[in-house]
Amino acid sequence: MLRKNRLFTPGPTPLLPAAQTAMASFSAHHRTADFRALFLRVLADIREFIGSRNDVLVLACSGTGMMEASVANLTSPGDKVLVLAAGNFGERWVGITKAFKCDVEILTAPAGETFSLSETRSRLSPDVRAVYVQATESSTGTRHDIEGIAKLVRANGNDTLLVVDAITGLGTTHLDVDGWGVDMIIGGSQKALMIPPGLAYSAISERAWQRMEKTTSPRFYFDLRKERKAAAKGEAAYTPATSLIAALGASLDFVRAMGNGSVAKGREILVDNAELCAAMTRAAVRALGLRLLSSSPAAAITTIYSPEGMDSGIIIKEFRESFDAVVANGQGDMKGKIFRIAHIGYYDYLDTIGILGALEHVLARCTGGDVEYGAAVRAAQQVYAHTACNKRQLVDA
């Protein structure tokens, strides 16, 4: 049978056709009035997408670049920082803060679990200069309680900054960035914004901008103060990734159209869409007798244990070979134990039903056992039927 290549990975995610067209046809030079107008519009829209009144930046780098920038700009060597790490991306914060010679305190949680707020509180003291955490830990599909963590950090005082890697959180989970007092929130282009990898974006609080004037860690390309000055004029300090900025403009136009003229409203619909895809997937997986990894599941991605005794790589290979569907393996310790199906960005009902129907065939082939055809699909349809009454659906694109 004919197979179409489809990504179900937590980045890169499926591309928005309108964004691909915008990229392909874009050729303006970056020091022109046309580009400045585009970039200023994209910056205003991305701020609304994040849901913050703070100044925003869009840089040419992957998400990790902005994570590094948050450490290089907000800390000095020897600064005490608290990293909340419950998976591979949490470990990335540990790696970066150590590389910049911070005094790193680490609070961990087992794979698939989130942090105890009372333990988090006990690790905070007035000398903690920054707290680093993920909104959603993509390696385990776990959502962390950013609202609860932010309350603790704000109660710890204004000298403690909260930095949130929301690279898979933005566009898949509701976040009140300013209301909760998040100082730096970070996103990446290859996730909910439905465009290729290569851009990272962030909203940064006044408290954080002030911190940057005093910190002494080395920085050059990632000196965010230079970028802030340039962005105010619709420019970037160095050559921006112009065609990706054009794609981002098209993607944000799509989000605005979904929200009937409001980017913020469109983002909420995108979040609800991911929530529904994830709820359908969780119900389907349970109906097949498979186990979910996360006790606090993110809408970004569903993480599923492989059947007892089977390497999850076999399932992933079968998805690829039979259906050309790309599903993600576990990372680090979880490699071979789980597989991950993403719901970030450009997924609809048919994508979701399709991958769950395929999952039934994949399981039947890999286990050689009985799979009740239709069980996963039926469970997903029941979830959809119960929630479809509010008819909040993505616009056509």
Ligand X SMILES: *Cc1c(COP(=O)(O)O)cnc(C)c1O
> At what angle are helices 17-24 and 242-258 packed, to 10 degrees?
150
Binding marks (x or -) toward ligand X, 218..237, rule CB under 6 A? --------------------
Nearest to 252 by CA among 243, 240, 264: 264
State the Cα torsion 379-382-387-388 to the nearest 10°.
Answer: 120
Q: Is 331 in the site for ligand X (CB under 6 A)?
A: no
Among 7, 56, 167, 355, binds ligand X (CB under 6 A): 167
Kindly tell me which of 303 and 381 has the beta carbon lying closer to ligand X. 303
Among 45, 79, 165, 227, binds ligand X (CB under 6 A): 165
Binding residues for ligand X, total number by CB under 6 A: 13
State the Cα torsion 105-109-115-120 to the nearest 10°.
Answer: -20
Residue whose entry in the numeric block shows the structure tokens 């349809």: 381
Neighbouring CB atoms inside 10 A of 283's CB total: 18
Quick one: CA dihedral 236, 100, 92, 161, positive or negative?
Answer: negative
Among 70, 168, 281, 296, binds ligand X (CB under 6 A): 168
Residue 31 and residue 196: Cα distance in Å, rounded?
A: 23
Minimum CB separation of residue 176 from ligand X in Å reads: 19
Kindly tell me which of 156 and 243 has the beta carbon lying closer to ligand X. 243
Q: Is 100 in the site for ligand X (CB under 6 A)?
A: no
Q: Is 138 in the site for ligand X (CB under 6 A)?
A: yes
E strands of 70-156, at which residues? 80-85, 103-108, 128-134, 136-137, 142-143
Q: Is 134 in the site for ligand X (CB under 6 A)?
A: yes
Cβ atoms of 151 and 64 within 8 Å: the answer is no
At 176, list the tokens. 């009140």
Among 6, 8, 9, 10, binds ligand X (CB under 6 A): 10
Minimum CB separation of residue 62 from ligand X in Å reads: 3
Residue 153 and residue 146: Cα distance in Å, rounded?
A: 10
Q: Is 240 in the site for ligand X (CB under 6 A)?
A: no
State the Cα torsion 167-172-176-182 to the nearest 10°.
Answer: -20
State the Cα torsion 344-350-353-354 to the nearest 10°.
Answer: -90
Q: Is 89 in the site for ligand X (CB under 6 A)?
A: yes
Among 20, 40, 62, 378, binds ligand X (CB under 6 A): 62
Q: Is 393 in the site for ligand X (CB under 6 A)?
A: no
Kindly tell me which of 165 and 318 has the beta carbon lying closer to ligand X. 165
Minimum CB separation of residue 174 from ligand X in Å reads: 17
Minimum CB separation of residue 64 from ligand X in Å reads: 3
Binders of ligand X among residues 191 to 210 (CB under 6 A) are 197
Residue of this chain nearest to ligand X (CB atom): 63
**H-helix or E-strand containing 187?**
strand 184-188
Minimum CB separation of residue 94 from ligand X in Å reads: 13
Minimum CB separation of residue 167 from ligand X in Å reads: 4
Kindly tell me which of 204 and 371 has the beta carbon lying closer to ligand X. 204
Minimum CB separation of residue 241 from ligand X in Å reads: 13
Among 64, 76, 108, 387, binds ligand X (CB under 6 A): 64
At 125, list the tokens. 């003291």
At 155, list the tokens. 């109660």
CA-only gyration radius of the chain, Å: 21
Residue ranges binding ligand X (CB under 6 A): 10-11, 62-64, 89, 134, 138, 165, 167-168, 188, 197
